[in-house]
């Protein structure tokens, strides 16, 4: 059990300021949720015109380790959270000396390193994929052959498929390790996956936990493409996934919103892939399909308010919108057919306000909210067809 604590949480009053490290789309949706509760949001981010900065009540235009910027955040805000896991731990530790920070620098630090992350999760009694750390070339020995074929992943800074190389032989591992500049890595055994699912868990500073329904995730080129909720798994496995997510949050003494990603593995059942110490792409559906969304939970926790009801009131399918859609087959820029999409009554469109579309860049998402899951899947397929979104890899 972690004993890393920040300053005591107190209930924030409307019109007080909540601080946010990071200006991306997760921060944008946090700002909107916090503002609905009556709070003001101050974003610290080095970029102008960021998705979160453009809707926040204020922005500190500074680097995450800028002393003056952090001091202003600490002075003006009653608490600070983050919208991405690679924020420097030192920034969070600096803030935690004077105001509540959720999640803690310790929790984020565990999630920033895949080796530590797997060790911590295993210590909770929750299964992870067979793996081995590779910190130097000498670690690549014949003993690793039991993990092949596998995937070599950088221990830090990997997301959306980045920093991952599929390997079949020890020579492949050596070459991949060299190509990754011999940074600290972990070699994972490639497993036969039946599904990928995730659970969003919210835990407040008093230790109260709630979980959202289990989401079923499908990817394209390593990037989340589609999320189906509720996941098409049996009730026993769904309950196990939610219980495991709570166990991990409690073991980390986690305060905030945490995503736990699972593989459903043939012959093994649920195996944790990784954790994300923040709201997650697979939880975006909750904005339109749940009583309380993941971003409102993040704001409630930071403000010292009771957790909200996570009940899902409508079956839902979320479709990610990548920058590819803004280009035709010849590479010419175009605007996707939003009027056609919005002519479908079950569709909710969320665009993130990014000024420049790039291939593979997350520009927005569509949530289909329908009376039945079959209908939601049908409409999602119609959306994909209209926009020219290809099939998922899995």
Binding-site residue numbers for ATP are: 114, 153, 158-164, 188-191, 196, 219, 273-274
Cα-based distances in Å from 80 to 7, 26, 57, 260, 270 = 11, 14, 15, 22, 33
Would you list the DSSP string of 131-147? EEEE-SGGG--GGGGGG
Q: List, as residue ranges, the binding site.
A: 114, 153, 158-164, 188-191, 196, 219, 273-274
What interhelical angle do 235-251 and 114-123 show, nearest 10?
A: 110
Residue 208's contacts (CB-CB under 8 Å, 6 or more residues apart) are 306, 307
- Nearest 5°: phi and psi at 154? -65, 140
Report yes or no: 316 and 310 within 8 Å, Cβ to Cβ: no
Q: What share of the chain is helix, strand, coil (3-state, %, to 5)?
A: 30, 30, 40
Cα gap 332→269, rounded to integer Å: 45
Please state, as a whole number, how many other Cβ atoms lie within 10 Å of the Cβ of residue 272.
22
């Amino acid at each position: 059990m972690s004993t890393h604590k920040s300053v005591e949480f107190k209930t924030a009053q409307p019109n007080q300021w909540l601080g946010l490290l990071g200006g991306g789309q997760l921060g944008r949706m946090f700002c909107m949720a916090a503002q609905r509760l009556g709070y003001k949001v101050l974003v610290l981010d080095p970029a102008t015109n960021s998705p979160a900065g453009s809707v926040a009540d204020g922005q500190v235009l500074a680097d995450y380790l800028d002393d003056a910027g952090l001091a202003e955040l600490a002075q003006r805000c009653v608490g600070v959270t983050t919208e991405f896991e690679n924020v420097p731990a030192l920034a969070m530790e600096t803030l935690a000396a004077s105001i509540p920070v959720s999640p803690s620098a310790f929790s984020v630090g565990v999630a920033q390193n895949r080796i530590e992350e797997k060790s911590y999760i295993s210590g909770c009694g929750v299964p992870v994929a067979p793996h081995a750390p590779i910190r130097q070339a000498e670690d690549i020995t014949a003993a690793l052959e039991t993990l092949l074929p596998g995937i070599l992943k950088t221990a830090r800074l990997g997301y959306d498929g980045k920093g991952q190389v599929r390997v079949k032989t020890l020579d492949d591992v050596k070459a991949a390790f060299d190509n990754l500049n011999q940074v600290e890595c972990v070699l994972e055994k490639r497993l036969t996956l039946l599904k990928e699912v995730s659970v969003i868990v919210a835990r407040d500073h008093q230790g109260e936990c709630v979980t959202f329904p289990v989401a079923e995730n499908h990817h394209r080129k390593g990037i989340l493409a589609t999320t189906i909720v509720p996941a098409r798994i049996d009730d026993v496995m769904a309950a196990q996934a939610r219980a495991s997510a709570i166990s991990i949050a409690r073991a980390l003494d986690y305060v905030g919103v945490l995503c736990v990603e699972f593989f459903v593995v043939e012959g093994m059942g649920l195996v944790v892939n990784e954790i994300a110490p923040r709201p997650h792409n697979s939880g975006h559906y909750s904005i339109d399909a749940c009583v309380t969304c993941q971003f409102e939970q993040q704001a409630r926790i930071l403000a010292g308010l009771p957790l909200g009801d996570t009940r899902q009131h409508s079956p839902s399918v979320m479709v990610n919108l990548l920058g590819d859609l803004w280009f035709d087959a010849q590479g010419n820029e175009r605007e996707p057919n939003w009027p056609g999409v919005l002519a479908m009554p079950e569709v909710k469109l969320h665009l993130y306000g990014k000024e420049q579309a790039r291939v593979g860049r997350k520009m927005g998402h569509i949530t289909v909210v329908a009376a039945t899951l079959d209908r939601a899947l049908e409409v999602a397929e119609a959306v994909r067809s209209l926009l020219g979104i290809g099939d998922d890899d899995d």
